[in-house]
Amino acid sequence: MRPAAALALGGRRLELDTLFLDAGGVLVNPDWALVSEALGRHGVEATAEALSAAEPRAKRRLDDATGVPPTSDAARGWLYFDLVLAGAGIPRSEATDVALGELRAYHSRFNLWQSVPEDVRPSLARFQAGGLRLVVVSNANGTLHGLFDRLGLTPFFDHLFDSHLEKVEKPDPRFFNLALERSDSRAGRTVHVGDLYNVDVAGARSAGLEAVLLDAGGLYLEADCPRVPSLAVLADALQAAHD
């Protein structure tokens, strides 16, 4: 039997056995170098650094209570890239549309979210060492398992749930409920970590889970939930709860 872990965040101590994690924006990010190369082939100059710098505010704009819930993850995904380009000062054009079309084709086969932040693997190892069951609950496009195999992330996880394969996506509580059932987890001892308030936090809460928002850009000062800037900080919080 796994030892229970504890998490102290926001003045509360949470006892938990399972950590649910979103994939995109938490475990993996877009390959901005690949995006830059695709744009460059069509005469659009945009460095990977500029695109990455524009991403947090683009994502914050996307995560709007009036815009997120009614749309599908697929629709949000490409609006997201339009917002990133706009934030980087790149107007939409025929050239950007062609480049994004090429990236969409790549994403449908391989998954464009193939950049793993440096702290992810060490943090996952720390979570495992703390006795946590690790489960990915991700709005994805059917390529999640192949992507994680290719990146060497699969061994860290007890279960991977891809919304495309499950035919339901966050924030629908049914997605969290099926993940709880199939991973043999309990809502009261599970915390979900995601990067979109209206998808991850609201969705997790609707299924009776606690949620932590990964706010790398520090743009959710008003959020009514615990926030961390990285998985490394979350791992520190878990360790501190045991010290």
What would the pLDDT profile of 177-226 be if each residue is shown by its tens digit?
999 999 999 999 999 999 999 999 999 999 999 999 999 999 999 999 99
Percent of the chain at pLDDT > 70 equals 90
Pairing relationship of beta strands 12-16 and 5-9 according to DSSP bridges: antiparallel
DSSP, collapsed to helix, strand or coil, labels residue 135 as: strand
DSSP, collapsed to helix, strand or coil, labels residue 20 as: strand
Q: Enumerate residues 6+ apart whose C-beta is below 8 A from 15.
A: 4, 5, 6, 189
> Two tokens at 242?
């045991």
- Residue 2, pLDDT above cutoff 70: no
- Strand residues in the chain grouped as ranges (E): 5-9, 12-16, 18-21, 133-138, 159-162, 190-194, 210-214, 227-228
Q: Enumerate residues 6+ apart whose C-beta is below 8 A from 167.
A: none
**What pLDDT does 229 receive?**
97
Nearest to 26 by CA among 177, 108, 144, 168: 144
Please state, in angstroms and rounded to a whole number, the distance separating the CA atoms of residues 170 and 168: 7
- Residue 93, pLDDT above cutoff 80: yes
pLDDT tens by residue, 10-46: 677 778 999 999 999 999 999 999 999 999 999 999 9
